[in-house]
Structure 1
Amino acid sequence: MSEKDYDAVAEWAEHDMTLARDAEKGLCGQEAAAFGRELVERSQGGRPSIDPDAAPGEKSPIRQVRLPRALNADLDAFARNHHRNASDVLREALSEYLAAHKDAS
């Protein structure tokens, strides 16, 4: 974020920002400063990495796979029923499959 961006956000927060109708009060002082720093840090890094060994800013490799419609529907239903996303289910399933077949040559 550039200095100009910081100035624009500060101007908005000090003069134009409005609270949601159900909000009791906005953040002030140190609490507001800490929230702002956390927000800036999160915005610079993007999504958290799914790889615990990844360097900051390193992107995870992407694989694409085609699925038969029925298998895709089953995956979507399973993910939805378990409150997960399909990518998480696929990663876990692949990890378990590879571990189970590790010694098979």
Structure 2
Amino acid sequence: MTERTDHQALSDWAENEMTLPKNSTTALRGGDAAAAGRALLERAGGGRPPLDPNAQPGQESPRRQVRLPKPLSDSVDAIAARQGRRPADVMREAIAAYAASHSTPA
């Protein structure tokens, strides 16, 4: 909760009290800042890179959600921390290995 309060205070300061350098051409506020941010995202291709290297532009990866028992969730978090990875990457790799070992050849 403190982080949200600190963030809000900083946001308020930046929007209302921060003094910009005289004749600044780079500092934007309000609608101009929002428009510049949107333009930057559009130039960057928008959003995260696809998980599937063969995905078509704009194709999103399906999302699956599972609930895990606390000990298993803690184990995934510990593995991810040891490997310097995200828990989602660890789970994705584990599911891929499971699917590969349980798939029947077509």
The alignment's TM-score, normalised by the length of structure 1, stands at 0.58
Q: CA shift at 1:16, angstroms?
A: 3.6
Give, in whole Å, the separation in 1 of the partners of 2:46 and 2:26: 27
CA RMSD, aligned part only? 2.5
What is the percent sequence identity of the aligned residues?
A: 45
Conserved in 2, the CA contact under 8 Å of 1:51 and 1:60? yes
Q: CA shift at 1:67, angstroms?
A: 0.2
Q: Which runs of 5+ in 1 are unaligned?
A: 1-13, 18-37
The answer for the alignment partner of 1:85 in structure 2 is 86
Provide the aligned length of Structure 1 versus Structure 2.
Answer: 71
The ranges of structure 1 where at least 4 consecutive aligned residues each deviate by more than 6 angstroms after the TM superposition are: none
Give, in whole Å, the separation in 2 of the partners of 1:59 and 1:39: 17
Give, in whole Å, the separation in 2 of the partners of 1:39 and 1:61: 22
List aligned pairs for 1:11-90, cutoff 5 A: 15-17=25-27, 41-42=43-44, 44-90=45-91
Residues 52-104 of structure 1, C-alpha deviation per residue, up to 9 Å, x if partnerless?
1211111110000010000000000100110000111111111111111223x
Conserved in 2, the CA contact under 8 Å of 1:45 and 1:56? no
